[in-house]
Structure 1
Amino acid sequence: QERPEVLQRFARHYQTGEPLPDDLLQRFLAARKFNQGFATVEFVSSALVDLEFHTQPASAAQDVRAFEKKELEKIGMPEEISLRHRPTQFGHIFIGDHYAAGYYSYMWSEVMDADAFGAFEEAGDIFDPAVAKRLHDDIYSSGGSVDPEAAYEAFRGRPPEPDALLRRRGLLDDAKAA
């Protein structure tokens, strides 16, 4: 279930101070999950094509359109959804070494965000000071002194779980996650 404490606290009528009506709040929260299946498939398909491009030997000259078609068929891309970025204009994957095979990292950062937020939800308070202190001590203040994976696991006690993002996007409900 969504925890709209911030909205309940601050989303108030500018003249009367009345809180946002609950039915409007619930519609607003539901709208955030609209079309997330499409958006996820669209993004992940570009990330998978990016990764596959970068597994090819540098000397492997090939027909880009044929490569794209083959990869999309391999992952079962629905015909109704096209790639977010076509390989021939996808600057992220060819602009330099810092993006090579790294487009997936945008979604992985969303996984980590959703999973880290889960620590606050599990505490029963999204403002929980003890969880906030752990987040600060284990991740924010560690800088580059600790391996990022180790820092995250110190905070969460485990690696990030992709299901957290699926739940946030409305693609997996809590009952199926158990």
Structure 2
Amino acid sequence: MRLRAALLTLTAAASAAALAAPTEAPAAPSQSQQVFTRSLLDDPGTSAGIKRLLTKKIGIVDPRSGFLDVTGDGRQDALVLVTTNGAAGTVALYVFSTHGQPAGGSDTKLKVLFRLQSLYRATLRINGTALSVLEPVWAAGDDLCCPAKLRERDYRFDAKALTFRRTADHVVPFTR
């Protein structure tokens, strides 16, 4: 009985210490994260689900979002990822661009040219103006970390339509 009481006391003390321990505060969003969060919330094309994630702070504009010319016009475009802090990982991808607008004009502003808003644990590969979005495809017995396969959807920029068009959709083996 003494051993049991001692274990209960030790468990209670450990729990109290864990609650009292200072937690590391999350980093404040960068200026670009704040700008793109506001842009997504103001954009009528952003889905209600993504807006809910951003307003409730369940999801964030991923700090890995960045600038790269994916439209081939020589100007930087913004690739914006929305991620959750949970198992869902990357849940949305947006491409903001000034493509088709006069360079340096007073009315030039980033506009959403492309959006994928219902992703799950997505990863992105970029090759010039081609984007590849990969998502897990689990089979019975797969662990969350390690699906047997990935669904890869490839997109290429179509300058006439001012958007990205799907060029391929296939399943590839998952490799670490």
Common topology (TM > 0.5) = no
- Normalising by structure 1, report the TM-score: 0.24
Q: Relative to total residues, which structure has the larger strand share, 1 or 2?
A: 2
The higher-RCO structure (CA 8 Å, 6+ apart) is 1
Q: Which has the higher helix share?
A: 1
Normalising by structure 2, we get a TM-score of 0.24
Q: Which has the larger radius of gyration?
A: 2
